[in-house]
Amino acid sequence: MATSTVLSHRKVVQARALLLAADGVANEEIARRFGVDSDTVRRWRRRYAEKGPAGVGVIAKGRGRKPSLPEGAVAEVVRLTMTQTPPDATHWTTRSMARRVGIGKDAVARIWADHDLKPWKVATFKVSNDPRFEEKLVDVVGLYLNPPARAVVFSYDEKTQCQALDRTQPSLPLKPGRAGTMTHDYKRHGTIDLFAAMNIATGEVLTDLRKGHAGKDVLRFFKQIDASVPRGLGIHVVLDNLSAHSAPEITKWLAHKDRRRWHLHFTPTSSSWLNLVERWFKEPTDKRLRRGRFTSVADLTDAITVWAQRWNDDPKPFIWKPTAESITEKVQRGRAALSQIKSATNH
């Protein structure tokens, strides 16, 4: 303990002092060496005699730095943060709260950290109004957690309007002390729609790139899915409620006896978070598209195709963990909270 480089300075100093005491060094001499008074050394020795090593470096109750905040300041900061906003803003900052309560901004930051309050953040949230929400939720989550035997489960959707954007000036490279740069404006060179179906067991993703996403485009991709799955295996597809997914040509195609192995599982409305492929779309967006430069739709198409091929060289499935019951409980709490807010505001 006396030679530790990871323990607190207080523990190390007291341990060294106790070793000197064990060697017979007088309290006054120990106090002189460590810049404290002899009463402090006696207190260290007494605590060690009573508690052993566990008493080294312990701050006695009632000692140490006294709280400097006015009485009730913590409760007031928490109350204001959770129930009010400043008159000139949508949320509190450390400075605006400090002015309101009459304490330092660092104290406000500590109070927020202690109570896990983050008024500068906001998360998107919408409760589904789908009358069959629970039924669809149980169906989709059941596929993720307990997929059927002798079947392949796909999570399918389209990322529409992928833009081929080029910057108006060359970018400057990254250097020590300076971030790489890119212009805030750009040149548009057209768009393309990315179709993707992720095998939830393997993480492999089937993709296609089309100029539109009408029923005929969806049907073409469904045929691609069908061709990829060996005969004798069922096909289960999780998808949203886009009208193109139920277009007449798709309904007719699925009604054929050769498509009896097909099963569509629609997510509830306003519940894109339930479709695992949405998480996959974030991968190429963040890693290849957002900061990419594309001079044409063909250039963008090639970039997406190559990226998807590399993904499939070493695919990684996204593992679904929440149960339908836990999600339902959260949604019910959300609905109850919304109901209270609507009642209070008469909206």
Average pLDDT, the chain: 91
CB neighbours of 104 closer than 8 A, spacing ≥ 6? 98
CA distance 14 to 19: 9
Q: What is the pLDDT of residue 12?
A: 86
Coil vs helix vs strand at 211: coil
Q: How confident is residue 8, by pLDDT bands cut at 50, 70 and 90?
A: confident
Percent of the chain at pLDDT > 70 equals 96
CA distance 245 to 90: 40
Q: What is the pLDDT of residue 10?
A: 85
H or E, element range at 156: strand 151-167
Q: How confident is residue 300, by pLDDT bands cut at 50, 70 and 90?
A: very high
The answer on 232 and 102 residing in a single domain is no
The whole-angstrom distance between residue 204's C-alpha and the CA centroid of its chain comes to 23
Structural domain includes residue 333 = no
The answer on 253 and 199 residing in a single domain is yes
Residue 214 has pLDDT above 90, yes or no: yes
CB neighbours of 113 closer than 8 A, spacing ≥ 6? none
The answer on 25 and 160 residing in a single domain is no
Residue 126 has pLDDT above 90, yes or no: no
The whole-angstrom distance between residue 243's C-alpha and the CA centroid of its chain comes to 30
Give me Rg for the CA atoms of the chain: 31
Query: 27-34 vs 38-51: helix axis angle to the nearest 10?
Result: 110
Question: Which residues are registered as beta bridge partners of 299?
Answer: none
Mean pLDDT of 14-40: 91
**DSSP of 95-149:** HHHHHHHTS-HHHHHHHHHHTT--TT----------TTHHHHHHHHHHHHHSPPT
The answer on 141 and 101 residing in a single domain is no
Structural domain includes residue 68 = no
H or E, element range at 164: strand 151-167
Mean pLDDT of 100-117: 94
Q: What is the pLDDT of residue 303?
A: 96
Would the pTM count as exceeding 0.85?
Answer: no
Structural domain includes residue 125 = no
The answer on 87 and 203 residing in a single domain is no
Mean pLDDT of 257-262: 94
Structural domain includes residue 120 = no
The answer on 276 and 161 residing in a single domain is yes
Reported as half-sphere exposure (CB side, CA atoms, 13 A), residue 276 has a value of 27
Structural domain includes residue 229 = yes
Our CA angle for 48, 49, 51, nearest 5°, is 60
Q: What is the per-residue burial (b if ≥16 Cβ within 10 Å, else e) of 85-112?
A: eeeeeeebebebbbebbebeeebbebbb
pLDDT tens digits, 155-194: 999 999 999 999 999 888 999 988 999 999 999 999 999 9
Q: Between 325 and 69, whose confidence is greater? A: 325
Residue 230 has pLDDT above 90, yes or no: yes
Mean pLDDT of 243-254: 94
Residue 93 has pLDDT above 70, yes or no: yes
The answer on 202 and 152 residing in a single domain is yes
Residue 347 has pLDDT above 60, yes or no: no
The answer on 107 and 38 residing in a single domain is no
The answer on 157 and 38 residing in a single domain is no
The answer on 302 and 199 residing in a single domain is yes
The range of the structural domain enclosing residue 88 comes to 73-114
Structural domains of the chain, count: 3
Out of 40-44, 189-193, 195-199, which region has the weakest mean confidence (pLDDT)? 40-44
Structural domain includes residue 346 = no
CA distance 19 to 33: 13
Residue 48 has pLDDT above 60, yes or no: yes
Q: What is the pLDDT of residue 64?
A: 57
The answer on 98 and 33 residing in a single domain is no
Give the end-to-end CA distance of the chain in Å, rounded to a whole number.
63
Q: What is the pLDDT of residue 207?
A: 97
Structural domain includes residue 49 = yes
Mean pLDDT of 218-244: 95
Structural domain includes residue 21 = yes
Most confident of 54-68, 161-175, 216-230: 216-230
Out of 44-58, 80-94, 147-161, 241-255, which region has the weakest mean confidence (pLDDT)? 44-58
Q: What is the pLDDT of residue 62?
A: 59
**Helices (H), ranges, the chain:** 9-22, 27-34, 38-51, 73-83, 94-101, 105-114, 133-145, 215-228, 248-255, 277-284, 297-313, 324-345
Q: Are 197 and 225 in contact (CB under 8 A)?
A: yes
The answer on 305 and 168 residing in a single domain is yes
